C-alpha cells in the first residue's frame, strides 16, 4: 500500500503565519520562515517519493532525523542571533559611557554563556522530540505494513501531523525564551550603562598640581618666602 503523506501546512500554524502583538526584540522571522520552508520541502520530497511508490524514501524524507535537523538548525541560528544582539547592546552601552574598550569587551558573552542560551532556547522542544520518537516508532511499523494495515498507515499520518503541531509549540516556546533572555541580561546591560569613570586618577593628578599652583601664587604675591633656588631664578 503506497504511503500517503498528509498536508503539513495546516498543522504548522504560527510557524507559517505568526500572530503576535509585537515583534521579538531580536528579528527571528527569517529563521522561522526558513524552518517552515524546510518542513514543507520535506513534505514535498516525501510526496514525490510516494508517487514513485518509494516507501523507504518517503519515510526517510520525513524521518525523525530530518525534522530534528531542521529544528536544531533553527535553534542554533536563533541562539547565535540572540548572543550577537546582547553583545551589541553591551558594546553600545559601553561606548555611550566612554568605557574603555578592554573593560566592556570583558563583559561580552563567553562561549559557555552562548551555549547556555542555545540550551535554554531548545528546552521548549521537549514535546517536539517526544513526538519525533513516536513518529519513529510509527514509521517502523509503516515500513512493514501491508495493504490491509490501514490503521498503521493512519497512525503514521497522525504522527506526522502531531510532529508539525509540536513544532509550532516548540517555536512559540523559543520566542518566549528569547524574550526572557532580554530580561535576563538587562541588569548586566544596565550596569554597563550606569558605569562612570573613577575620580581617583583625576584627583591624584589635579590635587598636587593645584597645591603647587596655589603655593606658587602665594610666593609670587609675596605672601610666602620663596626658596633660594626659586628666588635666584625669579630675580628676587
Helix axes 150-193, 111-122, angle to 10 degrees: 140
Q: Would you write out the chain's pLDDT as a tens digit for each of its 236 residues?
A: 678 899 999 999 999 998 877 788 899 999 999 999 999 999 999 999 999 989 999 999 999 999 999 999 999 999 999 999 999 999 999 999 888 889 889 999 999 999 999 999 999 999 999 999 999 999 999 988 876 678 999 999 999 999 999 999 999 999 999 999 999 999 999 999 888 776 566 556 667 777 777 877 777 776 777 777 766 776 66
- Grouping H, G, I as helix, E, B as strand and the rest as coil, residue 144 is coil
The cell numbers describing 4, all together, are 500517503
- Grouping H, G, I as helix, E, B as strand and the rest as coil, residue 27 is coil
- Grouping H, G, I as helix, E, B as strand and the rest as coil, residue 110 is coil
What is the rounded distance in angstroms from the CA atom of residue 59 to the CA atom of residue 49? 9
Amino acid at each position: 500500500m503506497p504511503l500517503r503523506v498528509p498536508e503539513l501546512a495546516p498543522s504548522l500554524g504560527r510557524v507559517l503565519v505568526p500572530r503576535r502583538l509585537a515583534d521579538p526584540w531580536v528579528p527571528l522571522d527569517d529563521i522561522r520562515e526558513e524552518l517552515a520552508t524546510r518542513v514543507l520541502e520535506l513534505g514535498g520530497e516525501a510526496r514525490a517519493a510516494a508517487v514513485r511508490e518509494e516507501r523507504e524514501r518517503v519515510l526517510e524524507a520525513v524521518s525523525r532525523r530530518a525534522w530534528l535537523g531542521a529544528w536544531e538548525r533553527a535553534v542554533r541560528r536563533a541562539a547565535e542571533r540572540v548572543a550577537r544582539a546582547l553583545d551589541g547592546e553591551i558594546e553600545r552601552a559601553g561606548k555611550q559611557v566612554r568605557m574603555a574598550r578592554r573593560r566592556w569587551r570583558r563583559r561580552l558573552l563567553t562561549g559557555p554563556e552562548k551555549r547556555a542560551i542555545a540550551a535554554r532556547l531548545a528546552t521548549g522542544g521537549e514535546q517536539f522530540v517526544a513526538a519525533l520518537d513516536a513518529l519513529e516508532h510509527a514509521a517502523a511499523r509503516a515500513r512493514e505494513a501491508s495493504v490491509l494495515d490501514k490503521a498503521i498507515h493512519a497512525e503514521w499520518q497522525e504522527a506526522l501531523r502531531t510532529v508539525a503541531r509540536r513544532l509550532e509549540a516548540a517555536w512559540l516556546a523559543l520566542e518566549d525564551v528569547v524574550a526572557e533572555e532580554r530580561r535576563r541580561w538587562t541588569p548586566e546591560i544596565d550596569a554597563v550603562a550606569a558605569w562612570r569613570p573613577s575620580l581617583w586618577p583625576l584627583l591624584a593628578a589635579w590635587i598636587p598640581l593645584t597645591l603647587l599652583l596655589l603655593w606658587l601664587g602665594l610666593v609670587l604675591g609675596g605672601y610666602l618666602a620663596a626658596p633660594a633656588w626659586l628666588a635666584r631664578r625669579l630675580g628676587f
